Structure 1
Amino acid sequence: MNAPRRARAVMVLGTTSGAGKSWLTTALCRHYARQGLKVAPFKAQNMSNNARVVAPALGIGPSSLLPEGNVVDPGEDQRPHAGGEIGSAQYFQALAARAEPEVRMNPLLLKPERDTHSQVVLLGQVDEALTRLGWRGRSEKVWPTVARALDELMAENDVVVIEGAGSPAEINLMASDIVNLRVARHAQARCLLVTDIDRGGAFAHLYGTWALLPEADRALIQGFVLNKFRGDAKLLAPGPQQLQALTGVPTVATLPMWWQHGLPEEDGVFDMAAAQGSGAIHTRIAVVAYPRISNLDEFQPLKNVPGVALRWARGPADLVDADWIILPGSKHTSGDLAWLRAQGLDRAIAAHAARGGAVLGICGGLQMLGEALIDPHGIDGNAPGLGLLPLVTAFEPAKTVRRTVARFGETQGNWAALSGVNVRGYEIHHGQTAQHPAMAAAGNVARELMPALAWQNELGNVLGVYLHGLFEDPAVLQALFGAQVPTLESVFERMADFIAAHFEPGVLDRLIAD
């Protein structure tokens, strides 16, 4: 009788957040997938307000971000489909692995709403009981679910590429760990430890992390990875050799700095140096960066559009020469709206709109553009809106989580190019938005472009949509900019080529060898 199938597990740990775990995990997923292996990503727990909607048996493909040829067919089933949430990083890793994204790949998602409070999503669904629990008490309750999800993926695949979180050497958290060493032990994973050498202190980070691990767990570390290196790699000597003498662990890769690889950053962060497309600038876009901003990864394609310059806006001065202002999603709409007012951004946005400047609100940003937020259930908070659209939003306990295919109706003004465009994206929101009754009775009615999904003002320069992922749809980019940007499929291929070129020969094969 054949033994039960069990995948080989490769795990990417980091010395810090931002070291490059998500990026390297994604590259490894594609590297092993293009060897003909069945691959799945896994991250036990992710803390991020960048989430994607996944659902089984949709019948419309994983997303508009699939490889070339996957486009919206107007004859498809265009009804919204219920789904669950996972972290965006695992969503992209699944696509890199040529796998259908699903909730077992990120069984626990924490979505910060305040500094001391996060909404807990277990296997794709909000769990109110777990949300009320403290972190340490929560860990033991969710571990059986986490372990079961991992075991099932291990039984169904040839390789599972696992991403850790933060650092495995957080000694104050080790007793309640369910995402780093406990997962590594459970999967019998062969681990890589990656550090960001551009920050400085890379050898100390690697040695200190290794030294703080329990002695038995040190044996799990198969190699050190220096990420974001700039300069002549020969100058690193004798550092890697001395580090190996101290730890017994070789440095198996030195990855050069790669600014514009094209993969959305896990936390959606872009910097000014890397946020401008090629060519002469024709469109300056300011994204308002409030404290509980969410789903920033959906703006990655704008970074790649020739002639588009993207920037953060944290004060009125950041909006002065903007052509577009985008109010993105928010995990705490009323709180971010209060912050926006405290910065004076409300007046600057209103002045921009009064001049006919383009304003786009997405999800929480759409809710802010209306007249009022009404919260009878204590979900988010009551607040007056910015008054740029005659809409009102009521927060409901039930959370809308679904992927949606829709078509823009006749759109006017700044957004006229979207008229008739088929789009696919995803919704994640508690609020339900509708025309303000009193304003509608007085004749002030927003133009509804997609039923219960999109509205614009009479002038046509202010647009609000519930649909995330607009700029990830090639049809939208073509309509707005006449542009095509690199597909994720090409991004994944370049990433796999990159690590194959910079890892020591044979290392990646040995990680999955029997």
Structure 2
Amino acid sequence: MVLGTTSGAGKSWLATALCAWYRAQGYRVAPFKAQNMSNNARVVATADGGYGEIGSAQYFQALAAGAVPDVRMNPLLLKPEADTHSQVVLLGQVDAALTQMPWRARSQHVWPVIAGALDALRQEVDVVVIEGAGSPAEINLSGSDVVNMRVARHCGAHALLVSDIDRGGAFAHLYGTWALLAPEDQRLIKGFVLNKFRGDASLLAPAPEMLQKMTGVPVVATIPMVRNHGLPEEDGVFDDRSVVGAPVAGQALRTIAIVAYPRISNLDEFQTLKNVPGVRLVWARDCRDVDDVDWIVLPGSKATGSDLRWLRSQGLDRAICAHAQAGKPVLGICGGLQMLGESLIDPADVQGNQPGLGLLPLVTVFEEHKTVRYGEHQFAPLKGAWNALSDVAFHAYEIHQGQTRTYVAMAEAEGGVQTAIANLAWANAKGNVLGCYLHGMFESDAVMYALWGGRSTSLHSVFAHMRDGVSQWFE
């Protein structure tokens, strides 16, 4: 089990690396995270022939492990819809009753499902690599814990405790976290890991030895800072320090602005764009962020209505429309597609009625139930800026709470609309504005080849690098 002294310490990254390493040793491996809070989710098949959602981190860990992603690998997923409210997804399906239940009251209801999922995976594989959440020393939540030490005790896990040394205070974080655990939980901590280290490792002495004397726990690895490792961050976060690819000879740098509204979701699907040489991704939070960019992308949203209102409050609506009217490419995915249309209609008061940006002649009607699907799709012949995607086939997934249709009168007034994929994707008559419900198309080799000539880092090479790192960094 991989625990962390803080969020962002590197739990997901290290758990993925361990999945790849154990797989390379010939073991059958499965990842597991009891509870994940993230709006980055993937669609996977369920035992009854349907589809369900799991956190993206466990999806990538399953791929690293050579396992088929399974809803049991992340039995409880919390998808924030507001600062104090999350949609609860249990074994891949939205659970309305749990969603309305107070946080601490949920544990007694979800624990049997969590324990059952973990026990079933343990029966099927040789090694389960478990990821914790936040910190196990959040003593205000220990009474309702279902993701950290309760999981470790349930299966007698050998736990690693990871700290981000780049932030400073790593030894205090490690010791303080260990000291706040109950004695029975302290005994489960088998090793400390210093992550994101930059500098001369010999200067760490004698701190690791002193820490071991105080706790009885050795520092088993010092992992260097690894930038551009090619794996999406847990929350899809990136910054300019780590996303600028070196331009290919004779190729100009291309800048893609992703609109960063408050309830952004599924940002991990843009990781492959980060891996393309010559492409720079930037967050767009105000009008200045979209000045002179090549593409504007409106990503998915867990709260389309409120995010569209935020976008208007920032003046980004005018900037996006000006970009499109200048003939430059605009792409909307899922919630972003809905924003590009003429209007959002909400009979059940899920998202709120309001006009869209008016860049595509579409109307979206929100529904109570969510569409969750995975499948193979193919773009129709397209004109204009998105012509490179014409006839390209790819696999992708849907997670949306709304259905979109062409607004016929407006489409006729604007000279027509291109149906890129029936009922799922549309482009304007000029061909520079494209909206689709499909997540994950940038993870398709066919799509990446069409757009960039295939210049990106494959997941296979990413996992191989992580696997080799485990062999080098652990005693």
Q: Say whether the 8 Å CA contact 1:194–1:225 is kept in structure 2.
A: yes
Secondary structure, aligned partner of 2:292? coil
Secondary structure, aligned partner of 2:229? coil
Q: Say whether the 8 Å CA contact 1:30–1:96 is kept in structure 2.
A: yes
How big is the shift at 1:283? 1.5
Could you tell me how far apart the structure 1 residues matched to 2:50 and 2:316 are?
35
Q: Say whether the 8 Å CA contact 1:370–1:389 is kept in structure 2.
A: yes
Instruction: Note the alpha carbon deviations across 1:289-343, whole angstroms, 9 max, x for none.
Output: 0000000000001111111111111010010010000000000000000010001
Verify: 1:156 aligned to 2:124, yes or no. yes
Q: Say whether the 8 Å CA contact 1:306–1:483 is kept in structure 2.
A: no
Q: Trace 1:130-209 onto structure 2 (pairs within 5 A).
A: 130-209=98-177
Distance verdict in 2 for CA 1:314–1:422, change over 3 Å: same
Secondary structure, aligned partner of 1:397? coil
1:35 corresponds in structure 2 to 25
Verify: 1:351 aligned to 2:322, yes or no. yes
Question: Which of 70, 83, 86 is the equivalent residue of 2:51?
Answer: 83
Question: Which of 339, 362, 372 is the equivalent residue of 1:401?
Answer: 372
Secondary structure, aligned partner of 2:366? strand
**Unaligned runs of at least 5 residues, structure 2:** none
2:15 corresponds in structure 1 to 25
1:265 corresponds in structure 2 to 233
Instruction: Note the alpha carbon deviations across 1:183-226, whole angstroms, 9 max, x for none.
Output: 00001100000000000000000000000001111000000000
**Identical columns (%):** 67
1:341 corresponds in structure 2 to 312
Distance verdict in 2 for CA 1:269–1:405, change over 3 Å: same
Superposition TM-score, scaled by structure 1 size: 0.90
Which is further off, 353-362 or 372-381? 372-381
Verify: 1:428 aligned to 2:428, yes or no. no
Q: Say whether the 8 Å CA contact 1:45–1:178 is kept in structure 2.
A: yes
**Paired letter, 2:246:** S
Q: Trace 1:105-504 onto structure 2 (pairs within 5 A).
A: 105-279=73-247, 280-440=251-411, 442=413, 444-504=415-475
How big is the shift at 1:396? 1.1
1:14 corresponds in structure 2 to 4
How big is the shift at 1:446? 2.0
Q: Say whether the 8 Å CA contact 2:275–2:456 is kept in structure 1.
A: yes
Question: Which of 34, 38, 43 is the equivalent residue of 1:44?
Answer: 34
Secondary structure, aligned partner of 1:121? strand
Could you tell me how far apart the structure 1 residues matched to 2:287 and 2:105 are?
43
Could you tell me how far apart the structure 2 residues matched to 1:110 and 1:445 are?
40
Could you tell me how far apart the structure 2 residues matched to 1:444 and 1:204 are?
65
Could you tell me how far apart the structure 2 residues matched to 1:243 and 1:443 are?
69
Superposition TM-score, scaled by structure 2 size: 0.98
How big is the shift at 1:437? 3.8
Q: Say whether the 8 Å CA contact 1:281–1:309 is kept in structure 2.
A: no
How big is the shift at 1:40? 0.4
**Paired letter, 2:294:** D
How big is the shift at 1:276? 1.2
Q: Say whether the 8 Å CA contact 2:46–2:52 is kept in structure 1.
A: no
**Unaligned runs of at least 5 residues, structure 1:** 1-10, 59-80, 505-514
Could you tell me how far apart the structure 2 residues matched to 1:191 and 1:297 are?
27
Q: Say whether the 8 Å CA contact 1:287–1:313 is kept in structure 2.
A: yes
Secondary structure, aligned partner of 1:312? strand
How big is the shift at 1:443? 6.1
Which is further off, 257-266 or 475-484? 475-484
The Cα RMSD (Å) is 1.2
Could you tell me how far apart the structure 2 residues matched to 1:233 and 1:467 are?
45
1:66 corresponds in structure 2 to none
Could you tell me how far apart the structure 1 residues matched to 2:234 and 2:28 are?
24
**Paired letter, 2:96:** E
Could you tell me how far apart the structure 2 residues matched to 1:230 and 1:281 are?
31
How big is the shift at 1:442? 4.4
Secondary structure, aligned partner of 1:349? helix
**Paired letter, 1:42:** F
1:510 corresponds in structure 2 to none
Could you tell me how far apart the structure 1 residues matched to 2:50 and 2:258 are?
29
**Paired letter, 1:325:** I
How big is the shift at 1:57? 7.5
Secondary structure, aligned partner of 1:241? helix
1:74 corresponds in structure 2 to none
Q: Which portions of structure 1, spanning 4 or more consecutive aligned residues, are displaced by more than 3 angstroms? A: 440-445
Could you tell me how far apart the structure 2 residues matched to 1:82 and 1:142 are?
21
Instruction: Note the alpha carbon deviations across 1:474-510, whole angstroms, 9 max, x for none.
Output: 1111111113322111111110101110111xxxxxx
Could you tell me how far apart the structure 2 residues matched to 1:503 and 1:440 are?
60
Structure possessing the higher relative contact order (Cα contacts under 8 Å, 6 or more residues apart): 1
Q: Say whether the 8 Å CA contact 1:474–1:484 is kept in structure 2.
A: no
Secondary structure, aligned partner of 1:195? strand
How big is the shift at 1:438? 3.3
How big is the shift at 1:445? 3.4
How big is the shift at 1:423? 1.4
Verify: 1:55 aligned to 2:45, yes or no. yes
**Paired letter, 2:14:** L
Equivalent pairs, count: 472
Could you tell me how far apart the structure 1 residues matched to 2:211 and 2:335 are?
48
Q: Say whether the 8 Å CA contact 2:277–2:455 is kept in structure 1.
A: no
Could you tell me how far apart the structure 2 residues matched to 1:187 and 1:444 are?
63
Q: Say whether the 8 Å CA contact 2:34–2:76 is kept in structure 1.
A: yes
